[in-house]
Chain A
Amino acid sequence: MRRLVLLLVVAVLMAGCGGKPSNVDVILATTTSTQDSGLLDVLVPLFEKQSGYRVKTIAVGTGQALAMGEKGEADVLLVHAPADEKKLVDAGFAIERKLVAHNDFVIVGPKNDPALVKGTKAAADAMKKIAGAQVPFISRGDDSGTHKKELSLWKAAGVKNEGKWYQQTGQGMGQTLNVANEKNGYTLTDRATYLTVRKNLSLEIVLEGDASLLNIYHVMLVNPARYSKVNAEGARAFHGFLLSTEGQGAIGKLGADKYGQPLFFADGGKTEEQLTAIK
């Protein structure tokens, strides 16, 4: 029996091998949009090659990513829910919150636009029309940055997001777009994910350009003073890389050749106020 136990321990340890010392691993908690849009496929290998660190990317909704930071289960966060991020910083769980990039949210819907949203300027008005027409609206429903933005739009519109027409997927952006496509519904999406998966969709942008649809990504470090197990150096290295000329260059270039427009606008060094002022 003892030999069996020993064998098991050795087997499990062997499976864990191929790993280097633990401080090489940096856990990045981020949103699905950075993974689904292919941004991380570009950034992570660049950073790993340059720094020797190994990034463990956990792509979940922003809500879960922030929760991971709050529990000290991640080292660095790349997220897009400014109001909630500030709360985390104010509570002392995260530090060094810096603007990385932005793009925008768009409302997409069926080509024939049953709720007659096209031509509407304000996002809140569009939401009112969709609710009024009782056309399916497919929500992320997963406490992600996009979901939080969507909820704020319902609030601004002053309509209740309840009823048979309002459906939640609880899944990532790519999946949610697929569901909206199948159900001929509307949804709120970040532009990057929409452009990446558009080839399979018959959904069109029905509203864009409203200032309330700005989608801002920040990077922050999980506070090492709070959690001693955090890989502070690795996190700082990734943080620095995202804001470096090389990192910012890679972010700004992504998608320009493939979609005719970049997926993200690099904003390293800017503040949120500057960004909202431009728009």
Chain B
Amino acid sequence: MEAIWQGVKAAVHLLFSGDPETWRITFLTLRVSGLATLISVLLGVPAGVLLALTRFPGRRVLISLVNTGMALPPVVVGLWVSIFLWRSGPLGFLQLMYTPAAMVIAQTVIAAPVIAGFTLAGIGQLDPQLAMQLTALGASRWQLYRLLVREARLSILAAVIAGFGAVVSEVGASTMVGGNIPGQTRVLTTATVMEVSKGNYNLAIGISIVLLLLAYAVTLSLTLLQQRGRQPWVMR
């Protein structure tokens, strides 16, 4: 118990002493995972919508691949992204290894299938007659997609929350392609692992609390966005 109490004190100290390193790590975590989530939304939502609404050969295989992708182990992603980004790899000339950009790429590979999968499920749950009705009312294909996405916004925001949650919490890929370099690619999760192996438990617990607060703050704002204007569902 003593350790937890010391950790809480360390967290308070980290947050309020204005320690520049803590803020830098926290800000980088937010920047990398936020950007990866944003890119994943841009890729995953359209992919999910198309998979839900169009019919083509191989669609089920593709859906099963997306569903598998939702459970991609971060270390596997880290290894494969590394292979591509190493100097000896096919994308080595970009010199992205051990940069925040490499972490964004790896985290996008992790989050995009999660968001596509949830979007697919969300759109799939809508009443099929809604699409027919909208088409009958003269909606063009793009208008139809837009309206259905709006209709499924609860699920899609859940998808965004899940995607962000997956990347802000992962450590395997970030360590491999980022390298946990202080001031450059150290994020809250990799810093936690390192402080544990240095035996600085108080600091590790402190950093983990900062991470939880960050995850909560982001999730809270997404939830508020999700629930905006919704009347509570009252049982009669």
Contacts of A71 in B (CB 8 A): 86-88
Is A73 a contact of B35 with CB atoms below 8 Å? no
By a CB distance below 8 angstroms, the chain B residues around A15 are 31-32, 35, 99-101, 104
B181 within 8 A of A: yes
Cβ of B87 and Cβ of A175 under 8 Å apart? no
Residue B223 is within 8 A (CB to CB) of chain A in the complex: no
In the complex, A196 has a CB within 8 A of chain B = yes
Mark out the residues of chain B between 69 and 114 whose CB falls within 8 Å of any chain A CB in the assembled complex.
86-88, 92, 95-101, 104-105
Q: Is A253 an interface residue (CB 8 A)?
A: no
- Cross-chain contact B199 with A174 (CB below 8 angstroms): yes
Q: Does B180 contact A (CB under 8 A)?
A: yes
The 8 closest A-B CB pairs, nearest first, are A197-B199, A174-B197, A16-B101, A15-B101, A229-B87, A175-B197, A15-B104, A58-B179
**Are A12 and B104 also in contact (CB < 8 A) when A22-B95, A57-B181, A58-B98 are?**
yes
Q: Does A219 belong to the interface (CB within 8 Å)?
A: no
List 19 A-B residue pairs with CB atoms under 8 Å apart, sorted by A's residue number.
Answer: A7-B42, A12-B101, A15-B35, A15-B101, A16-B99, A16-B100, A18-B100, A27-B98, A32-B197, A35-B198, A36-B197, A41-B182, A56-B181, A57-B181, A171-B197, A175-B197, A178-B196, A178-B197, A196-B199
B86 contacts across to A, CB distance below 8 A: 71, 73
Shortest CB-to-CB span from B181 to chain A, Å, is 5
- A137 nearest CB across to chain B (Å): 20
Question: With A and B bound together, what is the CA distance between A173 and B96 in angstroms?
Answer: 29
Which chain A residues in 53-67 approach chain B with CB under 8 Å? Answer: 54-59
Q: Is B194 an interface residue (CB 8 A)?
A: yes
Complex Cα gap A25–B31 (Å): 21
How far apart are the CA atoms of A197 and B201 in the complex, in Å? 10
Interface SS of A by simple majority: helix
CB pair A72–B87 under 8 Å, yes or no, is yes
| Proximity string of chain B (215-227) to chain A, C-beta cutoff 8 Å, 1 when within and 0 when not | 0000000000000
Question: For window 188-231 of chain B, which residues contact chain A by CB distance below 8 Å?
Answer: 194, 196-199, 201
Q: Contact: B96 with A16, CB < 8 Å?
A: yes
Task: Tell me whether A59 and B101 are in contact (CB under 8 A).
Answer: no
User: Residue B15 at the A interface, CB < 8 A?
Assistant: no
Which single residue of chain A is at the shortest CB-CB distance from B199? A197
> In whole Å, how far is A138's beta carbon from the nearest beta carbon of chain B?
14
Tell whether A277 is near chain B: CB-to-CB under 8 Å.
no
A56 near B105 (CB under 8 angstroms)?
Answer: no
Nearest-neighbor residue (CB-CB) of A74 within chain B: B87
Q: Does B38 contact A (CB under 8 A)?
A: yes
Q: A13 contacts which of B39, B92, B101, B180 (Cβ < 8 Å)?
A: B101
| B-chain residues with CB within 8 Å of residue A196 when the two chains form the complex | 198-199
Interface check B184, CB cutoff 8 A: yes
Chain A window 52-96, contacts with chain B (Cβ cutoff 8 Å), 1 for yes, 0 for no: 001111110000000000011100000000000000000000000
Whether A200 touches B201, Cβ cut-off 8 Å, given contacts A22-B95, A35-B194, is yes
Is B42's CB under 8 angstroms from A4's CB? yes
